Amino acid sequence: MKIKSAFFLFIFGVMLAGSLAPALQAQMAGPEGIYGFTVKTIDDENKSLAEYKGKVFLIVNTASKCGFTPQYRTLEQLYETYKDRGLEILAFPANNFRDQEPGSNAEIKNFCFLNYKTTFPLFSKISVKGADIHPLYAYLTTQSGFNGDISWNFNKFLVAPDGEIVARFASNVDPMSPEIVNTVEKNLP
């Protein structure tokens, strides 16, 4: 009986630790906040978000087979308009919603370039919700001041030059909408 109880406690502990892992990982950003994260590029290279200090950047979870996929075009338009003034677009492909991003990193990269001529940074495919949520998205959805689960592809977070997350936009808010453009312009260095 003691073995069964010990086994049950062990399994419960593993399950509890697994469910807390994303929140604990999000806290690992520490006092650096958003700049404390290192992510993988679409080409599988490490990239510290600290490299974006002093810039405004828009973090977007993307997908290639979504009704919002044409936003890649307006994300590129926003990027081209403001990149020389300090704007970056950081696109994180994710397959969390109806398998709308099934491709490999190489397939995603090719799709974005061939169909939308994207030049802004693309990152490796990650999970933006659930038990396997990436630590960056655990942070964004629990500690950014704009908390709440990612509702669909193309949710957007705007980060000011000092690392403060200053806005969150729903999927249906186009990157070239006055709402996003005005917020970007207000925060440019």
Contact 168, 159 (CB under 8 A): no
> What does R_g of the chain's alpha carbons equal in angstroms?
18
Domain ranges of the chain: 2-187
Task: Out of 21, 23, 66, 181, pick the active-site residue.
Answer: 66
What are the start-end ranges of the H helices in the chain?
2-27, 71-82, 105-116, 135-143, 178-187
Q: Is the pLDDT of residue 51 over 80?
A: yes
Contact 144, 114 (CB under 8 A): no
The amino acid present at 14, given as its one-letter code, is: V
pLDDT at 83: 98
With cut-offs at 50, 70 and 90, classify the pLDDT of residue 31. low
pLDDT at 69: 98
Q: What is the pLDDT of residues 95-122, one digit of tens each?
A: 999 999 999 999 999 999 999 999 999 9
Phi, psi of 162 (to 5 degrees): -90, 5
Q: Which two tokens stand for residue 16?
A: 């509890």
- The burial class, CB within 10 Å (0-12 / 13-18 / 19+), for 55 is middle
Which pTM does this prediction carry?
A: 0.85
Q: Which CATH architecture describes the domain 2-187? A: 3-Layer(aba) Sandwich (3.40)
Q: What is the pLDDT of residues 139-185, one digit of tens each?
A: 999 999 999 999 999 999 999 999 999 999 999 999 999 999 999 99
Q: What share of the chain is helix, strand, coil (3-state, %, to 5)?
A: 45, 20, 40
112 as an active site residue: the answer is no
Q: Would you say how long the chain is, in residues?
A: 189
Measured CA to CA, the distance from residue 154 to residue 131 in angstroms comes to 20
Q: Which two tokens stand for residue 82?
A: 């403001």
**Nearest in space to 129 (alpha carbons), one of 99, 97, 164:** 97
